[in-house]
Amino acid sequence: RYKAVIFDLDGVITDTARYHYLAWKRLAASQGVHFDEAFNEHLKGIDRMGSLDLILASAPRAYTPEEKLALADSKNAHYVELISTMSPADLLPGAVEALDACRAAGLKVGLASVSKNAFAVLDMLGIAGKFDYVVDAARIARGKPDPEIFLKAASELGVSPADCLGVEDAVAGVASIKSAGMTALGIGDPAVLAQADRVIAGLDHFALADY
């Protein structure tokens, strides 16, 4: 029933969500801001500067744009260091099988991550060749929950949004998929991803025929 499946990367295909969490936690601590898993849930799927703004909103002082850029760069340097040893062993269970199942069913396969590290991560995981189109986050004006990134993927794949299944672990990502007019498959907790059409625990439960 679909013509394309568009996947998020962090937290869906590989557990980089953990590394983003660790890098933001250290950055927050350095600025005297409390940071925990619950707050991190709001940052999933949110782009780098947007995430930084949410963290600094509870900082004791204001920041200049230059200071913000320096903090974002330092978070990213830490993140890049954390992911530097990634390999195909870091693929989440069922990820490759899910990508291959979509292709075998004749569907286009896209990637819609707002991470500017997405191309590097795909290379380290050894799966760059499994996508018909990967959105370049540097060319996206509005991050999730705006639908822009999923709409861009659909149009580059030559498929109408109504014929797309989007796969996401983040609340903001599911919102992006739904406002793009696509069906949303959530990865994670159904109570958190309440806006998703279906929720599964991980891609090891992915069954294309069910959605």
Binding-site members for Mg(2+) are 8, 10, 168-169
Given candidates 4, 27, 44, 200, which one binds ligand G6P under the rule CB under 6 A?
44
Cα dihedral sign for 70, 150, 119, 138?
negative
Verify whether residue 8 is a known catalytic residue: yes
3-state secondary structure of 211: coil
Residue placing its CB nearer to ligand G6P in the complex, 14 or 117: 117
For residue 106, the minimal CB distance to ligand G6P (Å) is: 29
Report d(CA 43, CA 173) in Å as an integer: 11
Strand order in the sheet with 133-134: 133-134, 108-111, 4-7, 164-168, 183-187, 198-200
Q: By CB under 6 A, is residue 113 in contact with ligand G6P?
A: yes
Q: What is the rounded CA–CA span in Å between residue 57 and residue 41?
A: 16
Please report how close the Cβ of residue 189 comes to ligand G6P at its closest, in angstroms: 16
Binding residue for ligand G6P, selected from 114, 149, 171, 175, defined by CB under 6 A? 114
Task: Catalogue the active-site residues.
Answer: 8, 10
Judged by the rule CB under 6 A, the positions of this chain that interact with ligand G6P are 10, 17, 20, 43-48, 51, 76, 113-117, 170
